[in-house]
Chains A and B, each alone.
Chain A
Amino acid sequence: MNSLLSLKNVETYIDQYHILQDVSFEVPAGEVTVLLGRNGAGKTTTLRTIMGLNPPKKGEVAFKGAIMNGLPPHDIANRGIGYVPEDQGIFGALTVEENMKVAMKKESDDVMERMEWILNLFPDLKTFWKKPGGLLSGGQKQMLSIARAYVNETELLLIDEPSKGLAPIVVEKVMHSIQEMKQKTTIILVEQNFLMASQIGDYFYIIDDGRTVFNGRMQLLREDESLRRKYLGIA
């Protein structure tokens, strides 16, 4: 497996709480890896650990073979990792345009090309270009958050629960856009909505109580109901 990112026996604490107790996985380049698990299993903390927002106490996080432990979040982002947090992290008082501009490292042809591509993917953002981010709907905020994470050269995109709190029709729209982005970048997706995750994902890892407990190709989980019942509690 041509691994872009790997986590080896990662342990992360938040204050005194031992959240990640032994997380190990590899993310193949050009694929979508889905992190599945029940609420509070440690999926969001795993993404935050990769980004350096909750740095690991033990273990190893490596991107393209280089260890990233101890690096500040901005260094990690500058290596080509985009992050879409669970709460979308929109700067509400800033316009859509300003939200994008904060993220843009430079206004080179390459970045402008990416911007054009992403705005064609999310035409709503063009419509509300001069509107404050805080006034967007939940789905539009999600689109803006994804667009912002992708506007620079991004080799790996971490997306945390993009369907959370969205109407089914909006979820479909967001999912379609993630499908499109899949052609251009590697993605780690945290998702509670198994139906959606199974349509997009190529690989899955199940996290339970801060540990990776099972993994495989998504097809395996799609076809095996007993596995889904055992690890996810769904039919």
Chain B
Amino acid sequence: MELFINLTINGLATGMLIFLLAAGLTLIFGLMSVLNFAHGGLFAWGSYAGVWLYLLTNSFIAGIIGAIFIGILLGFITEKWIIQPVYGNHVQQILITLGFMIVLSELLKVIWGPNQIAVTPPAYLTGSWEIGNILIIKYRAFIIVVGLLMYGLIYYMLKHTKIGLIVRAGVINKEMVQSLGINIKRIFYMCLWLERLWQH
């Protein structure tokens, strides 16, 4: 039983990371009809930048803020110069974002080297709680909590706000949303930025 609970917690922590990635991909594909194969590259860049800043400043919070900033900046650059010229053409989107993914991952190696960077979480996130024979690693619990918070935030935004309503309508019929006087492009950009925000 203990093994089952430990594995479930580990699985949930990994699952939350995948959820955050998948939620972004789904929204961008659903709303913007963009197949972004560079998604993982953007995620990795935010992570590397965050770790780099964390090591530089010794502040975990600064690392998170830096990761968000770099993620948003790269998201903006990707949309403006990589994706915008190929809107509406899935084949071109796959080719160009796949190419950009390679560029992003090679640039990572150029800047931070080819080896993995190991980082110790801040003191308040290291260690574990022991409940009977069950060991809950604090950092994994933190990831699960952040993932759940993000889920709650996305759910609330989509279900209970006007922007969320427009996003849901836009996924179904973009043209109709525009015909109702809504600037769908502005909503797209907002989603891209939000997606970058919750990924990091």
Q: Mark A149-184, 1 if CB is under 8 A from B, else 0.
A: 100100000000000000000000000000000000
Asked if A204 lies at the interface with its beta carbon under 8 angstroms from chain B, I say no
**B184 at the binding interface (Cβ < 8 Å):** yes
Contact A94 B179 (CB under 8 A): no
For A51, what are the chain B residues with a Cβ–Cβ distance below 8 Å? 179
Are B183 and A94 in touch, CB under 8 angstroms? no
- With a cutoff of 8 Å between Cβ atoms, the chain B residues found around residue A102 in the complex are 165-166, 169, 177, 180, 182
- The one of B168, B176, B183 in contact with A72, judged by C-beta atoms closer than 8 angstroms, is B183
Instruction: Assess whether A78 is in contact with B176, with CB atoms less than 8 Å apart.
Output: no
- Segment with Cβ contacts to B, from A1-9, A20-28, A84-92, A189-197: A84-92
Partner of B179, one of A85, A91, A93, A105: A85
A199 to chain B, nearest CB (A): 27
Which residue of chain B lies nearest to A92 when distances are taken between CB atoms in the complex?
A: B172
Interface extent on B, as a size class?
Answer: 10 to 19
- Counting contact residues on chain A (CB < 8 A from B), the size range is 20 to 34
Name the B residues within 8 Å of A41 (CB-CB): none
Q: Which residues of B contact A152 (CB under 8 A)?
A: 181
- With contacts A53-B175, A85-B176 taken as known, whether A91 is within 8 angstroms of B169 at the C-beta atoms is yes
Closest to A93 in B: B172
What residues of chain B lie closer than 8 Å to A148, measured between beta carbons? 180
Contact yes or no, A77 B179, CB < 8 A: yes
CA distance A53 to B162 in the complex (A): 24
Q: Given that A98-B165, A101-B162, A102-B165 are known contacts, is A91 also in contact with B181, CB under 8 Å in the complex?
A: no
Q: A99 to B169, alpha carbons, bound, how many Å?
A: 8
CA gap between A179 and B57 in the complex, in Å: 70
Q: Does A205 contact B (CB under 8 A)?
A: no
Cα(A188)–Cα(B36), bound, Å: 41
A30 interface hit (Cβ, 8 Å): no
Chain B contacts for A99, CB-based, 8 A: 169
Tell me whether B178 is interfacial, beta carbon within 8 Å: yes
Q: Which residues of B contact A94 (CB under 8 A)?
A: 165, 168-169, 172
- The smallest beta-carbon distance between B156 and chain A, in angstroms, is 15
Given A94-B165, A98-B165, A102-B166, A89-B173 contact (CB < 8 Å)? yes
Q: CA separation between A83 and B176, bound complex, in Å?
A: 9
| A74 and B175 in contact, given A94-B165, A98-B165, A102-B166 (Cβ under 8 angstroms) | no
| Complex alpha-carbon distance, A89 and B175, angstroms | 9
**Closest partner residue, chain B, to A78 (CB atom):** B181
List, in ascending order, chain B residues with CB within 8 A of A92's CB: 172
Contact residues of A with B, CB < 8 Å? 51, 53, 72-74, 77-78, 83, 85, 89, 91-94, 98-99, 101-103, 105, 148-149, 152
For this complex, 8 residue pairs linking A to B, each with C-beta atoms less than 8 Å apart, are: A74-B181, A77-B180, A89-B176, A89-B179, A91-B168, A94-B165, A94-B169, A102-B180
Beyond A89-B173, A99-B169, 17 extra complex contacts between A and B, CB < 8 Å: A74-B178, A74-B181, A83-B179, A85-B179, A89-B176, A91-B168, A91-B172, A91-B173, A91-B176, A93-B168, A93-B172, A94-B168, A98-B165, A98-B168, A102-B166, A102-B182, A105-B181
